[in-house]
């Protein structure tokens, strides 16, 4: 939406021959941006991260407990390859705030998962883009 609607609202509201629908679109986009800009934007206060996985298997429940922990930032997944693959697939599919890298010492390799702030950083980037889009729409 952000890549299409703000530029469309700008192009439809410029000039004296702009259609009335362009003004309505501009107002709708501005209202959306204002709502999102008003949302509270803070980095996570502790190590708790969203554990919204769709899978409810034992391995993903263990992952969810780790993500729910406010004190744990690193988790080593010592398990057979099938379990590691399942958990890593769940992490990727659910866009969880985790970086996973294999510890190549010993066999089997042990994935080391470290919590990150990717969701917060994405929201912060979006916030900056929203501010810039609002500024362009207000000035025009």
Does residue 72 sit in the same domain as residue 86?
Answer: yes
77 pLDDT higher than 60: yes
> Helix-strand-coil percent breakdown of the chain, rounded to 5?
55, 10, 35
Is 0.85 topped by the overall pTM? no
Does residue 111 sit in the same domain as residue 124?
Answer: no
Q: Render pLDDT for 50-59 as a digit per residue (tens, 0 to 9).
A: 888 778 888 8
pLDDT band at 42 (very low <50, low <70, confident <90, very high): very high
Does residue 112 sit in the same domain as residue 62?
Answer: yes
Does residue 106 sit in the same domain as residue 77?
Answer: yes
pLDDT at 41: 92
pLDDT band at 5 (very low <50, low <70, confident <90, very high): confident
Q: Domain residues for 21? A: 5-42+120-139
More confident position, 59 or 47: 47
């Amino acid at each position: 939406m952000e890549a299409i609607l703000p530029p469309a609202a700008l192009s439809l509201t410029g000039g004296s021959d702009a259609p009335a629908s362009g003004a309505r679109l501009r107002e709708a986009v501005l209202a959306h941006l204002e709502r999102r800009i008003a949302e509270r934007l803070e980095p996570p206060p502790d190590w708790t991260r969203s554990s919204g996985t769709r899978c409810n298997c034992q391995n993903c429940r263990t992952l969810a407990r780790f993500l729910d922990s406010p004190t744990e930032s690193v988790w080593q997944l010592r398990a057979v390859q099938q379990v590691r693959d399942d958990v890593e697939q769940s992490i990727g599919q659910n866009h969880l705030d985790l970086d996973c890298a294999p510890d190549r010492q010993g066999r089997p390799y042990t994935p080391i998962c470290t919590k990150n702030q990717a969701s917060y950083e994405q929201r912060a980037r979006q916030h900056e883009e929203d501010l810039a889009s609002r500024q362009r729409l207000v000035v025009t």
